[in-house]
Amino acid sequence: MKRVFCQSLVAAVLLSGFFGAVYAADGSQLRSEANSAKSDLDSVKNEIRTATKKLRLTQAERNKQQKSLKEAEAAIGKLQTSVSATEKETRERQSRVAVLRKRQVALSQAKREQLASLKADMQASYRAGRDDYFKLLLNQEHPALLSRQLRYFSYVQKARSERIDELDATMAELAAVEKEEAEQIVKLAALERKLERQQGQLEKAKTQRASALKVLNSDIANQDRKLKNLKKNQAALQNLMRRLERQAREADRLERERRAREAAAKNKPAPSTKEKPVWSQEPDYSVPYRGNCSLPASGGIRAQFGADRGGGLRWNGIVIAASSGAAVKVVKSGKVLYADFLRGYGKLVIVDHGRGFMSLYGYNQSITVKTGDSVSANQTVASVGDGSEGETGLYFETRLRGRPSQPGNWCNY
């Protein structure tokens, strides 16, 4: 293939170098060269058809893999949700254990103080002896004193009974606290094992997805490169063929003493025209500064708005190099128009802020809102992931009246 292409280019150079002599050349020889070029072109077209067919098959496999990737994204999202729930429950139980331990210390101190008080009271009663009470009952000489002493003994007994009841309540609560603390510790240990398993499953799913995506993207890139090269070869041969045909017609025109000038001019291929690129009609670079909001996530800018992304494409938004799992916060209040998976953007959230202004958040790991939800400024709507791009980060795009606009016109960075 390369040999044929080089030969064709050499022929073009020679013909261009001796353009003056071509007018006197034999038309049949030029037509022979043209036929040879057509044969080469047919060969290239066959290769292109073969490569295109193979590319379609590869793309069909990619679509199948994309479906699997979508399912993997959903599984990862569920695992991440489970991990977050487990972590939250673990924190709550740890907080409860801390409260229980603090209460346990307070109850133990109260128990010691109550026991010491009862002990002192019992020792005092022992020293006074039980005979005083009976002597008092038998003393009939001072009735008023008897009444006062009986009331005193009654108060002492009541206070002692209350302290005993308080001690019983303290010991019962202490036993309950110690029991609950032991149960919480057991549950915490189980939660830690569960969290470890979930994190292992999450890392395994991410590794498998990254590996499959890398192989898939490599296959598609190779096929795309091959097809582009073949199309370049086709275009070069088509250009050479057109030049040869023009020169053959010119030689015939000279041999027939310009009798076929008008006919040849009528059959001359019209120059190709190129349409204005759609990109130059789409983005709005002239939108004035309209906001003073912050970016939806923290991190450096990995891809700038309007930058070349290869293949004649440019970035309609920016890519923020945020950490995996970081919160994605909506830049302004609005209504969620879309919250689902979209090929090329992973899990995508689109928010309408009114007056023709919308913001888009892509490459997410999980989404915390749904279509139709109303959101307030700085509300978390997703967590940073890698979507289908294979790199951790957040894709952020702003649009005004349907056209991509510079995010810097709305957010400071």
The half-sphere exposure of 28 on its side-chain side, counting CA atoms within 13 A, is 0
Domain for residue 356, yes or no?
yes
pTM of the model: 0.39
Domain endpoint, select from 222, 237, 272? 272
Q: Which CATH number does the domain housing residue 378 bear? A: 2.70.70.10
Residue 254, Cβ neighbours under 10 Å: how many?
15
Inside any domain, residue 281: no
Please give the radius of gyration of the chain, using alpha carbons only, rounded to the nearest integer. 43
Amino acid present at 12: A
User: Based on the domain organization, do 96 and 235 belong to the same domain?
Assistant: yes
Q: Does 253 share its domain with 355? A: no
Same domain, 346 and 209: no
User: What are the Cα distances from residue 356, in Å, to 164, 284, 295, 379, 407?
Assistant: 75, 13, 19, 21, 14
Q: Around 7, how many Cα atoms within 13 Å sit in the side-chain half-sphere?
A: 11
> Does residue 379 lie in a domain region?
yes
Q: Are 317 and 182 in a shared domain? A: no
- 58-80 pLDDT, tens per residue? 667 667 766 766 776 777 777 77
**Backbone torsions φ then ψ of 406, nearest 5 degrees:** -65, 120
In a domain, 277, yes or no: no
End residue of a domain, out of 223, 244, 272: 272
Answer yes or no: do 160 and 253 share one domain: yes
Contacts of residue 188, Cβ cutoff 8 Å, sequence gap at least 6: 90, 93, 94, 97
Confidence of residue 138 (pLDDT cuts 50, 70, 90): low
**Is-contact 251 23, C-beta < 8 A?**
yes
283 located within any domain: no
Closest residue by Cα to residue 383 from 317, 334, 324, 339 = 324
- HSE (side-chain half, CA atoms, 13 Å) at 165: 6
In a shared domain, residues 109 and 13: yes
Report the CATH number at residue 42: 1.10.287
Shortest CA distance to 50 belongs to which of 233, 223, 239?
223
Contact 237, 40 (CB under 8 A): yes
Do residue 170 and residue 118 come from a single domain?
A: yes
Instruction: List, as one string, the DSSP characters of 108-135.
Output: HHHHHHHHHHHHHHHHHHHHH-SHHHHH
Contact (CB, 8 A) for 202 and 79? yes
- Report d(CA 79, CA 41) in Å as an integer: 54
Structural domain boundaries enclosing 309: 291-412
> Per-residue pLDDT for 1 more than 50?
no
Q: What confidence tens digit (pLDDT) does each residue in 336-378 have?
A: 888 888 777 778 898 888 877 889 998 999 999 998 899 999 9
CB 243 within 8 A of CB 15: yes
Residue 236 in domain: yes
Whether residues 138 and 108 share a domain: the answer is: yes
Quick check: helix, strand or coil at residue 318? Answer: strand
Q: Closest Cα to residue 244, out of 25, 37, 42?
A: 37
Amino acid identity, residue 45? K
How much of the chain, in percent, has pLDDT values that exceed 90? 13
Quote the CA–CA distance of 301 and 393 in Å, as a whole number. 9
- 202 and 53 within one domain: yes
Q: What confidence score (pLDDT) does residue 300 get?
A: 93
In the prediction, which pLDDT does 175 show? 79
In this structure, the answer to whether residues 72 and 217 fall within a common structural domain is: yes
- The SS3 call for residue 274 is coil
Ranked by mean pLDDT, the top range of 38-42, 172-176, 254-258, 370-374 is 370-374
144, 246: one domain:
yes
Place of tokens 């945020």: 322
pLDDT at res. 301:
94
Q: Is residue 147 part of a domain?
A: yes
Q: How many CB atoms lie within 10 A of CB 220?
A: 16
330 with 262, same domain: the answer is no
Instruction: Domain count for the chain, please give it.
Output: 2
- The answer as to whether 375 is a domain residue is yes
- List 339's β-bridge partners, or say none: 349
Q: Which residue, of 203, 238, 272, is where some domain finishes?
A: 272
